[in-house]
Structure 1
Amino acid sequence: MSQTAGLRKRKKDASPSESSSAQHQDARRTDTHGSAKLMYTLAFIGIGLLSYFNFSIIYDSAKLVLDEWIGSSDHWDATPSSDDFVQFQVDEDKRQAVVNAFRHAWSAYERDAMGDDEYHPISMKGTNLTAAGGIGYTVIDSLDTMLIMGLTDEYSRARRWVDTKLSFDRDANFNTFETTIRVLGGLLSAFHLSSYLPHSSPSWRSLAPTFPHPDRLYLDKAIELANLMLPVFDTPSGLPTSQINLAQQRGAPNTEFPDLISTAEAGTLQLEFRQLSEITGDDIYWKRAEKVMSVIKTARLPHGLASIFMSQDAGQFVTSAIRLGSRGDSFYEYLLKQYLQTNRTELVYRDMYDDSMQAIHNHLVQKSYKTGLLYTSELIPEQNHEGEVSWRLTPKQDHLVCFLGGSLMLGATTTGALVQPVSIPPKPDELTLTGWRDWKTGVELIKTCMRTHDTATGLAPEMVHFRIPSDGMDGQEFAPEDWYIKGARPGEEAAFDARYILRPETVESLFIAYRLTGDPRYRDSAWSIFQAIDKHCKVDTGGYASIMNVDELNSRQEDKMETFFLSETLKYLYLIFSDDSILPLDKYVFNTEAHPLPIFNPTIPTGFS
């Protein structure tokens, strides 16, 4: 690999030891960036004047300032140029290619490891998460993908395994967060979608449920699992423990951080437990998960952002990194989705979401200083010898953060909308200034995430760093203009950051953006990613593997196929090549593992405000 390539081309958590090196990178705001932030802030001063002066003049002026700070998005800016109705057509060939990829992955797993939690395609074997056995992570995570794709035979065999082989009687600790989003979420989604199998129609527009009722098997298993998990909330603060021993029905701490719970782990249980309460009429599940949100709201930090760790006993944020990647990401995601899940009736979640998005724009959204790519930085706490804490801005962005672009666009058309329904794409007078801010930031973040696919393989690395004036690269012959993989060196072993582990976050945002705009360029980008996955990650004997270096054409593969590849990556790719009648965004909300759950009008009210 050339020296140029080594520098330029570059549910789920990275451990602190894996990301600790990023905490020492020198990063400071530039004067230019501060001036741009001032202009950005001035735009919102105009909001307070709208009731006193001509609305349209000030609205347009403020919007121009937003455009100058965030950017016009060049060809990525999906603003309407006409009143043409957007029609979503099925791309049969590309969608079938995704189905074929799923079959290639699933058939290998079913052949070699049916029922095991995880699959290793190179060694052609499965493993479980604990020595006491597994609980079918891969099977349950894949059920609704089979239902959506109409894979009747594969689904029938998977259902039979759930009915005859699945057991939660495991005397070992499982991660509370992962078990909730993958297993409980997967069971609830399968319960709902099971009414619609089998089907062969390419469109669900006129598709009536095949069965009169959803499959009770999945609901019974979901209730069983949730009841076993309820003890995780038996803590002094009500925040859940990081682990759960299912056989003993006892919560357990994370052995690495025994007194802490990550904010994402605590704040990413609510959709699933709320859905179960709504189905069963038993409010115990919702009350326990809702208490967590009340604790988090009470613990709000002055700047509105969330540190990645909370004290499990005290229910307070502890001094730790602030980021939108690992241990923080899905907390922000679920603020919006709780509001959407309850059909926009529970305003406390909208308020918490709006508050957090404002804080993200105030403190984390940055521009690369040479090419102007929008990205989100991290805040790293540093303590001096006198015990005083300061915060260092670090220009590092995880691949996990790429969920945010689509999430912001979805929030813009809901919490930031002046009318309902919003046009596809939204028209200039349909969103508030805050809505337009979030829309444009979302568009730009997706653009940036696609730029991180500018590698030898066309796949994005696990982590990227963005250029800043003080990084010491100016003047170097092969210095990248905008972003780079930290630690990448030609001829040396690939840096940890250079991996691609079949993550779905970029294609998730592309799916949402396509549904909200109809812009075919989002489809084109998704197709490019799929082709890259199929070329570089496919294992000839079956399955797909992670690769160790996205900037090496013949990169060594890692013997691991993450369950979210089947649950999320391929599902979102399938949906982006389908029409908008399958799982419409005004009828369903996707949990953070891409399990679709129906939107409903809540019968159990929120207990805090």
Structure 2
Amino acid sequence: MRLDLTVTVLLGTLLQPCLCMPKSHILNLRSEAHAMFHHGYDSYFKFAFPADEIRPLSCIPLSRDNQPENFALNDVLGNYSVTAVDSLSALAILSHTSAHSHEQFWRTVQNIVDVYYPTGFDRDAKVQVFETVIRGVGGLVSAHEFAVGLLPMAGIPGVGINGWKYENQLLHLAHDLATRLLPAFTTDTGIPYPRVNLKYGCVNVRPEDEDAEANEKCRKDDEEAEKGGFKPLWNERTETCAAGAGSLTLELSTLSRLLQRFKEDYPEEVEKLKKAKDGLRHKWDDVEVFEKVSQDAFWSVWERRSELNLVGAGLDAVTGSWEQQSGSLAGIGASTDSFFEYAMKTYILLSASPTVPSLANPEPSPPLAYFDAFEQAAAAINKHMLVDSPAVFYQGVHMQTGDAMVQWVDSLSAFWPGLLVLAGNVSIAEKACLFYTALWQRHQALPERYIPARQIVALQWWPGRPEFAESVYHLYRATKDVWYLRVGEMILRDIQRRCWGRCGWGGLQDVRSGEVSDRMESFMLSETAAYLYLLFDDDHPLHKGDQAWVFTTEGHPIIMPPQKRIRGKRSAIRNTDMQMHRQGYGRTKAPTCENPKMLKQEPEVGALFSRVASRTDTFHSYNAVGLNLLPPYVPRQPTRITLLDNENTVQEFGYYNDKDEENPYRYLIPYSPTNGSFYPWTLPPEIISPMAYCGKLPNEHKLDLVFSVTQTKPGETPPPGWINIRGGVLINSLSGLRLGFEKQLVEDTIEYFVTKIGDRVISRDEIVVIEKVNIDTLHVDGGIRFQTSKDEGYEVVFDFETEHKPRPTPTPTSTKDSLKDKKFEIKLDGEDLSDEFRTQVEKILRESLLRHLPTENTNTVPERTLTAQPLTPDSNKFLIRRHLHAILSSGIGAVESPPLAGRTHSMLHSMVHVVPSPTLPWRSVYVAGLACDQPLPSIAATYPVILFKRGKCPFSQKMSNVPTSSAVKLAIVVNFDESVPTHAGYEEVVDFDGGGGVNDWVALRDDHLIRPLLDRYQVDSRNGQRRKNPVALVFVGGGEATYRALADARAVGLRERWKVTLDGLLVGNLVPVV
């Protein structure tokens, strides 16, 4: 029985209270997030403080070790109670609903003051600048703002437990810690060294006398260090990353403003602090320095972006150059993520309080400059990294070319949807978040790296990262869709079930097996737990009001302190605005955010149901991560299940943390009430609109393959990955290329066709040429998916000499677009381009390439010439190579294996169209005509190639008129039948005098060629005896045009035709050549 639509809607109205998440359930989840935080933090504070961390399984403190190269541990742990400092802001957030959190906040502050305030962070610990700023400085600054009431917190600002009075100690400690990091900013590039010693300052040297004062400036060479009484510690690594260098502006700019305000409000206290000989380090005479060096570092990174506005990962702090390997990778995950985040958030933060020009910083960047940088970067990311099928995610690309470079997606990139929300692009953020939601359900966590194309885990651990929870939080704040509450519930339940330890929450060593790591990084509490708590606390004071505050990349809320109204302030801001317009940052229309309520989503649903759950593409992502591979149901007890992935590989999956019987969440059932493909597993099916439907999976007949980048030698210029040729594209190198394939039906047979190479669209009538050896040695995803096999046809290859300069290769890409995309080639259309204009364009490209190559290797840059080269410098003749599809004869007189020319092409290693090479074996052609009436003259026996016209007599008779000679290698018969549909096409193939274009690389297939029948044995025309070595006969089309071209050929050869299959299906337009 089918319900009427009116009845359905009426029923939905009656059931409305049941379809949404009940308020009591939301409050319960908030309470559980609160308990999650305090289970970890209280254990740390009880058993580990003042150590940096606690081991959640063994309940012992964790501190840095004495291994200098153990960066994974020692970059973060600086012996300054990282977990306590990093968690203060989370305690302040939780204090609104918990007296325990409020008390624990002030108890922690008092303990930190007692331990560190007398001497500051005077620790012989070499730490990473980035981690120390975001966890240490950021944690202290945010906690200070909560403590003094700049950010909302329960209780009376500045008053702790039992009336303890707060006197800005956290601010002074943040000042001390940031001052100890300043020696890292002494590079000539403005990019900070990646690490610095908190006690001695210098990154690579330290005093021999440990009681000596630390040097403020880092030494740059060993000789200078020895003169100053310093000795090197070890070979210092100066490689940093875009995120590490460019993600310091929020914390350090806010610190500068707070210190400026403190100097104005408490000048006498500042004088006392300046006179103190022992204790805290400070920069009271130049508190603006923190804001300046952090912003200079941001712009130093941005200025080094590629012409595509892509930012690489690794770069050298001393030289400012991108690292050879890591520097070429542009992405939104590890090493680049927070750079984009801070571009957007610095704009938000500074918009309320722009940097005022000063003597130390006379021309500060206006807030809109950061927004402009974010817009350019986001546009480049969407153009080059966005993959929209079968799900929306972002791939890593080469920063100079935009070509795909890696296949994996890392868990850090899950922050991107949340950042898109802040930028107003909610629609794309929703689509991107679906992929991470499905991936989380697939593995009950986010693996560090995942390869969507293969649906496999590349790096298996999850250390408790907060990026996914952060994006879910922001999307819920923007849309208020109950879907995100259910996703947050899934995250919370899976952490409870899989990560519980007696003294905290361990990360997962392997998301597949469920093995728990005995380490709880501070962000598990300060970010992951805090974001989940705020997700379920709609009434939190942080969600009220319209002040410009932001979360740092470590989840610390910060806000600029209010400025005093002083004379000249308005004019200073007005001057900043004028400077902003002079620099081109002004806009005729103020940027606005998308209103998610105005987005046109289909199907439209009311408030009764989840709009995200009712989208037509919501469940497309399940297919992209392999949720469909899971069994329909999971046993309702702790166990591991075994399943086959899409490559028929056995995988074990641990659904429970069943190693610790004390885990109170051990028996949570992590599965949907419907089936394994339904995600999140906490989603009730009832919140999906009854009128919703799942759209057809996009691109189900499409396949994308991404090939890894082949590293080149230092200073070596890689060849262009692909170039345009006559009739299609030549692939020179698969390094870093992304190839798109599509299945099509051809005469009742399914075949693959190459449809895209990078961003180059391959039309239906184009071919893709590749060297056969590149296919034969190719392994994709660890297996052999491509196979080559011989085609039944052959190709006649011949060279033709002409005095007409061939036209440039035609291409669908315009000059403007090609220069903008900066591939390693120029693409020019049309005949009306003057040589002068073409020379100017080549000069522009050459200079552009030189700017991105080391100066000592500039002589290695090849010329990018598009025209064919003369045979000799003094010659005005050009040699052009052409190919004709040929069919070998059959019958008792035929040759089974004709003589082949071997290699007929050398792949291009530059854009120069040189004289064709290697040379072809047969250097002369005897033009025989019909050759039916009498034997050919004896002179024909000296020619390696005999050329016939078809007609008048059988093929066997023509061959009987050829004199026997070992010099004769090949006979070619040309078809003159004009009724053949493909006949007219040969006019363009052999159009030399009209300037028909430069060399082609493969013959166009002619399915109308016949196979010549030699029904008699070949005999000698002079004595009638059977030949011991018959001559090979091939048949070609084209009539008079082909006949004249072959008659005048300077050289001829014969080669085999090959074809390629992918996963057993023929690739119709991919042609391997030898």
Displacement, 1:534?
A: 0.5
Pairing partner for 2:504 from 539, 543, 546: 543
1:363-415 deviation line (CA, Å, top 9, x unaligned):
001134xxx20000012589xxxxxx994433311110000001001111xxx
Is the contact between residue 55 and residue 503 of structure 2 (CA under 8 Å) also seen in structure 1? no
Q: Does 1:331 align with 2:339?
A: yes
- 2:414 & 2:62 partners in 1: Cα distance? 29
Say yes or no: does 1:143 pair with 2:88. yes
Aligned residue for 1:393, secondary structure, equals coil
CA drift of 1:441 comes to: 1.7
409, 419, 422: which one pairs with 1:407?
419
Correspondence 1:124-523 to 2 at 5 A: 124-129=59-64, 131=66, 134-150=79-95, 151-166=101-116, 167-195=120-148, 209=157, 216-252=168-204, 258-281=237-260, 282-319=287-324, 320=327, 321-343=329-351, 346-368=367-389, 372-379=390-397, 391-412=403-424, 438-455=425-442, 458-467=444-453, 483-486=455-458, 497-523=459-485
Query: Do residues 118 (structure 1) and 53 (structure 2) align?
Result: yes
CA 1:235–1:210 in 2, change beyond 3 Å: closer, same or farther? closer
3-state SS in 2 of match to 1:244 = strand
Corresponding letter in the other structure for 1:332: F
Q: CA deviation at 1:600?
A: 6.0
Alignment-derived partner of residue 63 in structure 1: none
Q: Which residue of 1 aligns with 2:960?
A: none
Count residues with an aligned counterpart: 457
Residue 527 of structure 2: which of 568, 576, 579 is its match? 568
Query: What is the one-letter code of the residue matched to 1:519?
Result: D
SS at match of 1:560: coil
Query: Contact conserved, 1:409 with 1:442, CA < 8 A, in 2?
Result: yes
Cα deviations across residues 59-83 of structure 1 (Å, max 9, x unaligned)?
Answer: xxxxxxxxxxxxxxxxxxxxxxxxx
Is the Cα–Cα contact under 8 Å of residues 116 and 127 in structure 1 kept in the other structure? yes
Residues 87 and 504 of structure 1: CA distance in aligned 2, closer, same or farther (over 3 Å): same
1:255 to partner: Cα distance = 7.4
Distance 1:347 1:208 in 2: 36
- The CA distance in 2 between the partners of 1:403 and 1:308, in whole Å, is 17
**Native 8 Å contact 1:176 1:242 kept in 2:** yes
Using the TM superposition, give the Cα deviation of residue 601 of structure 1 relative to its aligned residue in structure 2, in angstroms: 7.3
Is the CA contact 1:94–1:577 (under 8 Å) kept in the aligned structure 2?
Answer: yes
The aligned counterpart of 1:424 is none
CA distance in 1, matches of 2:518, 2:21: 41
User: For the residues of structure 1 that align with 2:151 and 2:191, how far apart are their CA atoms?
Assistant: 41
Q: Distance in 1 between matches of 2:385 and 2:22?
A: 35
Distance between the aligned counterparts of 2:373 and 2:317, measured in 1?
Answer: 21
Change (3 A) 1:133 1:233: closer
Contact 2:386–2:395 (8 Å) recurs in 1: yes
Measured at CA, do residues 451 and 285 of structure 1 come closer, stay the same or move farther in structure 2, by a change above 3 Å?
same
Give distance in 2, aligned partners of 1:317 and 1:348: 23
- Alignment-mate amino acid for residue 421 of structure 2: M
Q: Which amino acid aligns with 1:484?
A: I
Q: Which amino acid aligns with 1:565?
A: M
- Structure 1's 105 and 87: CA in aligned 2 closer, same or farther, altered over 3 A? closer
- Structure 1 residue ranges without an equivalent (≥5): 1-85, 202-206, 383-388, 413-437, 472-482, 487-496
Taking the aligned partners of 2:234 and 2:535, their CA distance within structure 1 comes to 40
1:376/1:396 contact within 8 Å kept: no
| Change beyond 3 A, Cα 1:440–1:466 | same
Equivalent pair of 1:342/1:600 in contact (CA under 8 Å): no
Q: One-letter code of the match for 1:317?
A: W
Separation in structure 2 between the aligned mates of residue 218 and residue 200 of structure 1, nearest angstrom? 16
The separation in 2 between residues aligned to 1:175 and 1:89, in whole angstroms, is 43
Change (3 A) 1:259 1:378: same
Displacement after TM superposition at 1:444 (Å):
0.9
Decide whether aligned partners of structure 1 residues 89 and 235 sit closer, same or farther in structure 2, where only a CA change above 3 A counts: farther
Contact 1:342 1:601 in 2 (8 A): no
> For 1:326 and 1:257, how far apart are their aligned partners in 2?
22
SS of 2:500's equivalent?
coil
Shift of 1:580: 4.9
CA drift of 1:244 comes to 1.1
Q: Which amino acid aligns with 1:165?
A: V
Contact residue 335 and residue 353 of structure 1 kept, 8 A? yes
Matched AA of 1:337? K
Say which SS state the counterpart of residue 250 (structure 1) adopts: coil
In 1: Cα distance, 2:337 partner to 2:297 partner: 17
TM-score computed with the length of structure 2 as normaliser: 0.40
- Contact kept, 8 Å, 1:87 with 1:518, in 2: the verdict is no
Larger radius of gyration, structure 1 or 2?
Answer: 2
- Bigger strand share: 2
The verdict on how the C-alpha distance between 1:88 and 1:532 changes in structure 2, with shifts beyond 3 A counting, is: closer
Q: Which has the higher helix share?
A: 1
User: Relative to structure 1, is the Cα distance of residues 380 and 352 closer, same or farther in structure 2, using a 3 angstrom cutoff?
Assistant: closer
Q: TM-score when scaled to structure 1?
A: 0.70
Please state whether the residue corresponding to 2:423 is helix, strand or coil.
helix
Gaps of 5+ in 2: 1-19, 67-76, 96-100, 205-217, 219-232, 261-286, 355-366, 564-568, 584-1074
| Percent of residue pairs identical | 26
**Structure with bigger RCO (C-alpha 8 Å, 6+ apart):** 1
Secondary structure of the corresponding residue to residue 330 of structure 2:
coil
Work out the CA distance in 2 between the residues paired with 1:334 and 1:215: 30
TM-aligned CA deviation for residue 200 of structure 1: 9.3
Q: 1:299–1:218: structure 2 CA closer, same or farther, 3 Å change rule?
A: same
Tell me the equivalent position of 1:490: none
Q: Compared with structure 1, are the counterparts of its residues 224 and 87 closer, same or farther at alpha carbon in structure 2 (3 Å cutoff)?
A: farther
Paired with 1:229 and 1:200, the residues of 2 have a C-alpha distance of: 30
> Which piece of structure 1 moves more, 583-592 or 284-293?
583-592
